């Protein structure tokens, strides 16, 4: 039974999307903060391979519609039809579970995997998009990851062709606008190339989602990291600015630079200060800032510029104004998934559970809260 090939990751904002793999792994695969594709070779999937996966998805959908008619549901793929299929996954191709969840959520969005899909020839990627749209005319949004360096090599005309074929949004890792930070992290791109890529995507009418990485500059370069990242973003004016706080695992290349002292990791409080400096320096843009990942301490840093800047700064200042023990309580509650907002600390039931966990951490050697939080955060990556 032919399966539907899928890659390892997708953005949190694509949790309800159909995952369609058009490349395998990453064409660069050297970024110091990423371990996802290390040891795996990059390759392009052919148009024929991708079409086979689209056909497989359509076969699943058509089969469920037939089940629906037989069960008297008039061809509608109801929650009951989906629940029955989930209980009988052994009858379906590999990857069917994600298709069923996509259908359950309205079957409107598709995300293209893996890390650098614009490396495809424009005509080939456009052919995949056209076939997808033909198979599923109800799809409203198609998004993809790509490297900024790859996007910079495309012409605006290439990007326009992809938009007309159905590509709605590009997710790309900016990480930093500071060249020394980019070099230290081995991003393989310069600030100038980041601006060039971003402007081309914007000129094509494709939505642009830029990821930045608070903490990547470390204690030595945090100011330059914040200010230069804001400078680059100001020149691009992306539709979305998404925060992904740095967390270094032992298996990541950056771990060696941490061990040597070249990169001195920042505390949560220091990273929050860095975010404040970034927000203060974003000017003349209309981006939506979102903190949509559990690695970020303050999920409430969320809003549109310029109108929500003060609201986001107030969240930062409220956190920094808390006494040290209260900041520690929030850090633990957030990382342990009890708190999502600062107001959640006022919930007696949630507060009691966090206090109990804090007491256990403090009572057991070595009683190190930061070590406990680091361990929790490792499970998020």
CA 345 – CA 351 distance, rounded (Å): 6
The domain limits of the chain are 1-9+18-112+120-138, 146-321, 328-381
Q: Are the C-beta atoms of residues 68 and 78 closer than 8 Å to each other? A: yes
pLDDT digits (tens, 9 = 90+) for 12-66: 899 999 999 999 999 999 999 999 999 999 999 999 999 999 999 999 999 999 9
The pLDDT score that the predictor gives to residue 325 is 96
Radius of gyration of the chain (CA): 22
SS3 for 291? coil
pTM of the model: 0.94
CA atoms 242, 248, 252, 258: torsion sign? positive
Residue 373 half-sphere exposure toward CB, CA atoms < 13 A: 22
Note the CATH architecture for domain 146-321: Alpha-Beta Horseshoe (3.80)
The pLDDT score that the predictor gives to residue 381 is 82
How far is CA 130 from its chain centroid?
25
CA atoms 77, 164, 159, 210: torsion sign? negative
92 vs 21, 89, 105, 249, 314, CA distance in Å? 19, 5, 19, 36, 51
CA 114 – CA 245 distance, rounded (Å): 21
β-strands 23-24, 43-44 pairing: antiparallel
Enumerate residue ranges in the chain where pLDDT < 50: 1
The pLDDT score that the predictor gives to residue 187 is 97
The pLDDT score that the predictor gives to residue 91 is 85
337 class by beta-carbon count within 10 Å (0-12 exposed, 13-18 middle, 19+ buried): exposed
């Amino acid at each position: 039974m032919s399966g539907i090939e899928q890659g390892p990751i997708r953005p949190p904002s694509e949790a309800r999307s159909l995952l369609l793999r058009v490349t395998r792994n990453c064409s660069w695969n050297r970024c110091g903060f990423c371990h996802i594709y290390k040891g795996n070779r990059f390759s392009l999937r052919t148009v024929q391979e991708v079409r086979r996966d689209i056909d497989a998805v359509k076969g699943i959908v058509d089969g469920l519609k037939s089940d629906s008619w037989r069960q008297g549901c008039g061809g509608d793929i109801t929650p009951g039809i989906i629940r029955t299929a989930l209980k009988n996954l052994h009858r379906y191709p590999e990857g069917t579970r994600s298709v069923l969840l996509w259908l359950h959520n309205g079957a409107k969005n598709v995300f293209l995997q893996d890390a650098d899909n614009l490396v495809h020839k424009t005509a080939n990627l456009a052919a995949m998009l056209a076939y997808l749209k033909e198979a599923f005319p109800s799809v409203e949004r198609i998004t993809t990851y790509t490297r900024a360096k790859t996007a910079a090599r495309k012409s605006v005309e290439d990007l326009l062709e992809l938009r007309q074929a159905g590509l709605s949004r590009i997710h790309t890792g900016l990480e930093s606008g500071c060249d020394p930070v980019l070099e230290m992290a081995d991003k393989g791109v310069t600030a100038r190339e980041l601006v060039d890529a971003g402007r081309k995507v914007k000129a094509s009418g494709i939505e642009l989602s830029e990821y930045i990485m608070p903490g990547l500059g470390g204690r030595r370069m945090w100011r330059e990291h914040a200010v230069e990242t804001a400078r680059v973003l100001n020149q691009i004016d992306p539709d979305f600015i998404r925060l992904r706080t740095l967390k270094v695992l032992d298996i990541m290349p950056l771990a060696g630079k941490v061990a040597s002292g070249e990169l001195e990791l920042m505390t949560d409080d220091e990273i929050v200060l860095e975010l404040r400096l970034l927000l203060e320096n974003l000017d003349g843009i209309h981006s939506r800032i979102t903190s949509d990942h559990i690695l970020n301490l303050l999920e409430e840093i969320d809003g549109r510029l310029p109108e929500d800047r003060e609201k986001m700064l107030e969240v930062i200042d409220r956190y920094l104004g808390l006494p040290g023990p209260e900041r520690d309580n929030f850090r633990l509650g957030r990382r342990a998934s009890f708190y999502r907002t600062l107001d959640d600390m006022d919930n007696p039931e949630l507060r009691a559970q966090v206090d109990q966990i804090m007491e256990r951490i403090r009572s057991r050697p070595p009683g190190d809260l930061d070590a406990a939080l680091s361990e929790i955060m490792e499970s998020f990556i």
